[in-house]
Amino acid sequence: MRQHYTAIIAKSLQARHRRERGLKYLGLISILFGFAFLLILLGNIASNGLSALWQSHIQLEVTVPADAVLDEHGAISEDMVFETNWNGIVQKSLRTEFPDAKGMRARRAVGKLVSANAGFWLKEKILANPELLDSPQKFWFKTSDEVDQYIKGHMDISVPESDRRLSDQQLAWADTLVEQGLLERHFNTTFFTQADSREPESAGILGAVVGSAMAMLVTLVLALPLAVMSAIYLEYFAKPGRMTDFIEVNINNLAAVPSIVFGLLGLTVFLNFFNMPRSAPLVGGMVLSLMTLPTIIIAARASIRAVPPSIRDAALGLGASKMQAALDHVLPMAMPGILTGTIIGMAQALGESAPLLMIGMVAFVVDVPAAITDPATALPVQIYIWSDSAERAFYEKASLAILFLVAFLILMNMAAVLLRRRFERHH
């Protein structure tokens, strides 16, 4: 009689279990590594960017004379508003805080403490509230970005004075204001309500966010239906043959094309040939939809193929046309996969800047776009513009914008997961 193999199997089992444990730990370690890098990256960006949520303000008492705004009949006169030196009013008030600053240079140095846009802000405030005219009013004015960075501790004061953006005297003035309680950090609402600006303290991401949202909407509206119809066609209608193979190969090629090439295409076709508006989210969305199309088509084909053929057979067997079988039964069951692919494609598109640079969405735009044909930037392009600026304050804002972009992407990916779960529960 042959011996049993139990002993041999048991022995080999030990070795197999050992190997399995080894692989398990290896996998765990690589995941931890990935997480650690992600945390370091995000932590670094956060430590650079979160301070942009606050902005230093100086409290000043100003009196705006009525004749700065009103004509002899007491009505607001645009001419007079235009003639008024609003910055001068702010500067005058600021100089009363530092009476010992004499001479042209010292006075100009004092003026550098507040934002160059302080006068503009004051004008808007007064026009909205004319009752504040002719009486002393206390306002919080934004500091210049240099003072703001100094207050936040982002300025290296060990650097020789001549290489710094603020002199020792200016730093001392700022310190005095802080001691007097006249210089405070307030929440930076501007960052969320404004578009780009030359002055970092007046710059916000709203313009870029709206630009991105518009471009994404255009991308979704164009790419999703096109991709789904292409996928259905390729799966159910295309006769296998050279033509279909050719199309299939080229869809995969399209997915591998560097994104800047799509930008070039957008530039030559949409802008130069069709004369569509430059810097517009409409064109940006069109370019991004070309880029996203293959991703969605590939995902849609995979999910259509994953639908059990028995469901399609059932529909066809009841006299459904191919289109009815596809739309009524296959598509709903493939939808979670298609939407997941769509969201992933959209997330890629959202983070894309190169093709948008090519079609001019890199312009300096100070207005929040109101229509998809208005000039606009997009979030990643705004980040690119800001991180390329000389001012430290823009760098801080770029970091905060990156945090927002990442948060957006995480949200989108979570939506993809949740969506898939919900559909899975339904079926």
Partner 1 sequence: MQNKMTARNVEVHYGDKMALDGINLDIPQHQILALIGASGCGKSTFLRCLNRMNDEISGCRVSGEIFLDDENIYAPKIDPVLVRARIGMVFQKPNPFPKSIFDNIAFGPRINRITESEAELRDIVHYALERVGMMDEVKDRLQESATGLSGGQQQRICIARALAIAPEVLLMDEPCSALDPIATTRIEELLEVLSSDYTIVIVTHSMHQAARISQRSAFFHLGELIEVGATDKIFTKPDDQRTENYITGRFG
Binding site for partner 1 (CB under 8 A): 239-240, 308, 310-311, 313-322, 324, 328-329, 333, 426-427
Give whichever of 59 and 244 is closer to partner 1, judged by the CB atom. Answer: 244
Token duo for residue 189:
């609402």
Distance separating alpha carbons of residues 222 and 287, to the nearest angstrom: 10
Residue 103 or 240 having the CB closest to partner 1 = 240
Nearest approach in angstroms of CB 337 to partner 1 is 15
Q: Which of 253, 324 has the CB closer to partner 1?
A: 324
326 touches 199 (CB < 8 A):
no
Smallest CA-to-CA distance from 57 within 115, 123, 101, 136 is with 115
Residue 192 vs 237, nearer CB to partner 1: 237
Sequence-distant (≥ 6) Cβ neighbours of residue 403 within 8 angstroms: 42, 45, 46, 49, 50
Give min distance, CB of 298 to partner 1, in A. Answer: 20
CB of 330 to partner 1, least distance (A): 11
**DSSP structure class, residue 277:** P
Q: How far is the CB of 322 from partner 1 (least distance, A)?
A: 8
Round to whole Å and give the CA distance between 325 and 318: 10
**Exposed, middle or buried by CB within 10 Å (0-12, 13-18, 19+), for 325?**
buried
Give 138 or 426: the residue with its C-beta nearer to partner 1. Answer: 426
CA distance 84 to 82: 6
Q: Which residues neighbour 125 within 8 Å (Cβ) at sequence distance 6 or greater?
A: 132, 139
* Smallest distance, partner 1 to C-beta of residue 325, A: 9
Give the nearest distance from C-beta 234 to partner 1 in angstroms: 12
303 contacts 332 by C-beta, under 8 angstroms: no
3-state secondary structure of 251: helix
Minimum gap (Å) between residue 246 Cβ and partner 1: 17
For partner 1, which is the closer residue by CB, 181 or 319?
319
Looking at beta carbons only, is 25 or 246 nearer to partner 1? 246
Minimum CB separation from partner 1 for residue 215, in Å?
Answer: 36
* Percent composition of the chain: helix, strand, coil (DSSP 3-state, to 5): 70, 5, 25
Question: Residue 252 or 321: which CB sits closer to partner 1?
Answer: 321
* Packed helices 103-111 and 86-97: angle between N→C axes, nearest 10 degrees: 110
The Cα 403–Cα 412 span in angstroms is 14
Q: 199: alpha, beta or left, given left = phi > 0 and alpha = psi -120 to 50?
A: beta
* Cα–Cα nearest to 154, from 405, 399, 427, 424: 399
For 58, how many CA atoms within 13 A lie in the half-sphere containing its CB? 29
Burial degree of 73 (CB within 10 A; 0-12, 13-18, 19+): exposed
Q: Which is nearer to partner 1, 244 or 389 (CB)?
A: 244
Shortest distance in whole angstroms from residue 317 CB to partner 1 = 4
Nearer to partner 1, 138 or 427 (CB): 427
What is the nearest approach in angstroms of partner 1 to the Cβ of residue 247? 15
